[in-house]
Amino acid sequence: MTLKESHSLNWEDLKYFLAVARTGTLRGGAESIRANHTTLARRLTIMEERVGSRLFDRSKLGLVLTQLGEELLPHAERVEEEMAAASRVIVGQDAIPSGTIYVTMPHGLTMTSIMDDLVSFAEKYPDIELNLNFTNEVADLTRREADVSFRIANEVTQDVVGRKLVQMSQAAYCTRDYAAQIEDNGGEGLRFIGWHEPDGDTTSPWIAKSSYPKAILRHRVSELVPLISLAAAGLGMAYLACNLGDRHPNLIRAPFQKPLPYRSIWLLLHKDLRNTARVRLFVDFIAAQITQRRNEFWVSGTTNGS
């Protein structure tokens, strides 16, 4: 595809184009790059005028790429990759421990001692500002969606520098009143709060592998914070990472069980940022804080799962 000089594009054009191509709507595209909806629509119109053809067809389902748009897409993605790489090189030359660090982490970590670590870091390095994005979506570090990412996972396969900080334990938690009803009978008469299981199911593989295989699956939630809140209100038992459940004032580990292995906490950054002063300071500080409290995450008595 060859464009005339009057049809030349720039990176800003391609950024708006990619946002709409990935979301399928003007509003979704604007939100994904934090742009004004009207601005994005105007820029897309100007871009289509420059190339002399439509890049999207309007349909009831949203905006779909035309043939020209499909041909342009891989070129735009390559430009995006190069711009991200150039940005990482520039940021990677920073040797002054100041500026902003963009960090993403799952919602559940807001209820852990890691919040205290963030406060301690901010107090120790007052010239470094933390921009924290709490989301359960996995940040794409290669696109500079974040400088550093906390991840809860068994393994990480992306092209990033990763530190596996600690493995966690998990256990069933409930209120003290609910625990008083529990007998050593395999969970008969008890109920677990579900997590995305199909409607109508009364059990699941994780219940069968627990210390309460006879417990019934009742109710469902889609997020961790409501799960914890409902368990603390007495709705039933919930499986939680021990560093979460042990901190909650209204929850205790249910009796007649041993904690089970859970996923690990990873601290990730793109390899181009490993020598950036402020990022290096942050990663080293947080990693040291968490690993020295290893027993808070992998608790005593955790079975090997065999």
List pLDDT tens digits, range 209-234. 999 999 999 999 988 999 999 999 99
Q: Which two tokens stand for residue 178?
A: 């609910």
Positive or negative torsion for Cα 122, 125, 129, 134? negative
pLDDT the model gives residue 96: 52
pLDDT, residue 297, reads 96
pLDDT at 138: 66
* DSSP tag of 138: P
pLDDT at position 95: 52
User: What was the pLDDT predicted at 39?
Assistant: 87
Identify the pLDDT of residue 62.
85
Ranges of the chain with pLDDT below 50: 1-6, 306
At 144 the pLDDT is: 62
Instruction: Give the global pTM.
Output: 0.66
Query: In sequence order, what are the beta bridge partners of 102?
Result: 131
User: For position 261, what pLDDT does the model report?
Assistant: 95
How much is the pLDDT for 91?
Answer: 58
Strand runs (DSSP E) across 28-134, as ranges?
56-59, 62-65, 99-105, 128-134
The pLDDT tens digits for 31-77 are 888 888 888 888 888 888 888 888 998 887 789 899 998 989 999 88
